[in-house]
Chains A and B, each alone.
Chain A
Amino acid sequence: MTTIDLHRLTGAYALHALSDDENVSFERHLARCEPCAQEAAELRATAARLGLAAETAPSPALREHVLRRITTVRQEAPGTVGGPLSARDGRRARLLSRWALAACLAAVAALGGTAVWEHRRAEDAGERAHRAAGTADEIAAVLAAPDARTRAAELGDGATGAVVVSRELDRAVFVVSGMTHPPGGKVYQLWFDDAGSMRPAGVMDPRRSDQVVLLRGAVDGASGMGITVEPVGGSREPTSGPVALMTLPA
C-alpha cells in the first residue's frame, strides 16, 4: 500500500473497519506520522460519541456480576515487570545493567548540560550547567554502586524503562527509552511510592523520549516509583492517574 493510501485510512481505523493485518501496518504508520496520529485520535473520539449516543440501561444483575468478578481478577501492572532480575536471572540482570549503563552514559554524554530534571525558571545558565554536571556524577555513582539493583519494565506504547537503585547511596536513577512526548504544557513527573503515598521525585524533560533521570531526594525506604502527567513545573501530589508504576528492586 502506498503512503498516500495509508494517510486515508484514519477513518476506517477509528471505526475498527480494517482487517487485523491492515490494522497492524497502519498502527506502525501512526507511530511515524504525526498528522495521522492526531487525526486518528480525533476520529476515535468522534466514534466514541456514536457509541455514547447508543447508551442503554444494563440489568442490575450485570452490575452485581461485574463487581463480584473484579474482586477475583488481578490487575495488570502498568509495565509488565519481570520481577527482580538480579535475583532471578543473574545473566540477564548483568546484561541489563550493562545496557542501562551504556544507555545512561550515552544519554548523559548526549545531554551534556541539559540533564536537568528540575525546571527552576530563576536559575541562570551557569548554575544550571554546574548542577547538570553534578547530576551526571551522581547518576554515574548510582550505576556504578556495588549494590546497584536494576528492574526493567515495558511502560506501554513501546516505551521501556529501567530503574536502578543503590540502597547504600539511597538514590535511584530512572532510564527510559521511547517515551511519547507529554501533551503541551505538561510534563512527566516521577514519584517515590512510600507505601501508597506518592512523594514528588522530580520531573522529566518533556522534549526527550530517551533520557536518564536522577530521582530527586533519597529513596528512603520507598517501595516503588510512579510516573504521572502533570502541569509544567510538577505538582505536590499526583493530579492524574499513573502512566506507569514500578516496584523498586529490593
Chain B
Amino acid sequence: MKEAVDIGSNPSTEPDLQGLLGQVALGDEEAFAGVYDAVAGPVLGVVRAVLRDHAQSEEVAQEVLVEVWRTAPRYRPDRGTAINWILTLAHRRAVDRVRSVDAAAARDHRAALLDRVPEYDEVAEHVEARLEREQVRRCLRTLTEIQRQAVTLAYYRGLTYREVAEALHLPLGTVKTRLRDGLIRLRDCLGVTA
C-alpha cells in the first residue's frame, strides 16, 4: 500500500497505473489486482469521508472498484490521469448514494450535515497518506474561512452548493464563486495541472 500513496503526488509512478489500466481495458485480471492495490485505499477514503458509515462505505467502494473494471475500456488517458478518473468516479458514487437515500433518512442526514462544518482533521481522521494529508492541510489553510468551509462541505460531505449556501447562510452566487476561487487557490498551492 506504500506505493499507492505516491501515485497522485509523484508523476513518475502515474504512468504505471495508466499502463495497468490499459491492460485492464483488455480484460487482464492480474493487472486489475495491481490497480486495486494502488487505488483501493484512496477510493475507500473518499467514499468514507462522504458517507462516514463504515459498512456502507465498503459497499460503495466495492461498487466503484468493480465499475473501474467494467468501464476501464472507456477510460480516456487524454482526459486526465487514471487516479483522477478513479477518484472522481468514487466521489460521484458516494455523492449519488448520499443523495439517493430515502427522504426521511436524507432529512436526518442533512440535519446532521448542516449542524456544523467538519474540521479537516475530523474528515481525514483515518488518513494513511501522511505526506499528501500534510500538503492538503497546509494548502487548505491558505484559503479564506468561507472558501475552506464551502469546499470542505461540498467535497467531504457531498453537499450541493445550495445546501452549502443554506449551511453557511450565504447567497447562492457567493457560494458558487467561493467554491470556484477556493479550488483555484488550492490548485495553485498544490501545483495541480490537469
Cβ-based interface call for B109 (8 A): no
Interface residues of B in 164-182 (CB under 8 A from A): 164, 173, 175-182
A54:B25 contact, CB within 8 angstroms: no
Contact-residue bracket for chain A: 35 or more
A75:B69 contact, CB within 8 angstroms: yes
Q: How does the 8 Å CB contact mask read for B1-21 relative to A, with 1 for contact and 0 for none? A: 100110111000000001101
A75 contacts across to B, CB distance below 8 A: 25, 27, 69-73
CA distance A77 to B4 in the complex (A): 28
Given known contacts A14-B183, A17-B160, A62-B61, A49 and B132 CB-to-CB distance under 8 angstroms: yes
B187 contacts across to A, CB distance below 8 A: 42-43, 45-46
B70 contacts across to A, CB distance below 8 A: 73-76
Residue of B nearest to A244 (CB): B73
Interface residues of A in 172-205 (CB under 8 A from B): 180, 182-183, 186, 196
Stretch at the interface among A100-108, A131-139, A235-243: A235-243
A58:B40 contact, CB within 8 angstroms: yes
Given known contacts A55-B45, A182-B78, A243-B78, A66 and B36 CB-to-CB distance under 8 angstroms: yes
CA distance A12 to B182 in the complex (A): 11
What is the predominant secondary structure among interface residues of chain B facing chain A?
helix
A51:B22 contact, CB within 8 angstroms: no
A45:B42 contact, CB within 8 angstroms: no
Nearest CB on B from A184, distance (A) = 10
A12:B154 contact, CB within 8 angstroms: yes
Taking a contact as CB atoms closer than 8 A, the residue among A15, A44, A49, A240 that contacts B179 in the complex is: A15
Nearest CB on B from A18, distance (A) = 7
CB-defined A-B contacts under 8 Å, sample of 9: A17-B179, A41-B80, A48-B83, A50-B151, A52-B8, A55-B129, A66-B40, A78-B25, A245-B26
A65 contacts across to B, CB distance below 8 A: 62
B33:A67 contact, CB within 8 angstroms: yes
Number of A-B residue pairs, CB cutoff 8 Å, is: 243
B66:A70 contact, CB within 8 angstroms: yes
Residue of A nearest to B131 (CB): A53
CA distance A63 to B158 in the complex (A): 25
Chain A interface (Cβ within 8 Å of chain B)?
Answer: 5, 8-12, 14-19, 38-39, 41-59, 62-63, 65-67, 69-71, 73-78, 156-157, 180, 182-183, 186, 196, 229, 238, 240-243, 245
Taking a contact as CB atoms closer than 8 A, the residue among B27, B90, B179, B192 that contacts A51 in the complex is: B90
Nearest CB on A from B97, distance (A) = 12
Nearest CB on B from A12, distance (A) = 4
Cβ-based interface call for B56 (8 A): no
Q: Which 3 residue pairs of A and B lie closest in terms of their CB atoms, listed nearest first?
A: A241-B22, A11-B180, A11-B179
Number of interface residues of B (CB under 8 A): 91
CA distance A56 to B50 in the complex (A): 13
CA distance A77 to B70 in the complex (A): 9
A11 contacts across to B, CB distance below 8 A: 151, 176-184
B1:A62 contact, CB within 8 angstroms: no
CA distance A75 to B180 in the complex (A): 35
Given known contacts A15-B183, A51-B45, A180-B78, A45 and B193 CB-to-CB distance under 8 angstroms: yes
A16:B74 contact, CB within 8 angstroms: no
Residue of A nearest to B46 (CB): A51
CA distance A53 to B95 in the complex (A): 18
CA distance A47 to B89 in the complex (A): 12
A49:B36 contact, CB within 8 angstroms: no
CA distance A63 to B36 in the complex (A): 8
CA distance A240 to B175 in the complex (A): 39
CA distance A82 to B92 in the complex (A): 28
Cβ-based interface call for B136 (8 A): yes
| Interface-centre pick from A9, A19, A75, A77 (highest chain B CB count, 10 A) | A75
Interface residues of B in 98-135 (CB under 8 A from A): 123-124, 126-129, 132-133, 135
B32:A70 contact, CB within 8 angstroms: yes
B87:A242 contact, CB within 8 angstroms: no
Cβ-based interface call for B141 (8 A): no
A49:B8 contact, CB within 8 angstroms: yes
Cβ-based interface call for B88 (8 A): yes
B1:A54 contact, CB within 8 angstroms: no
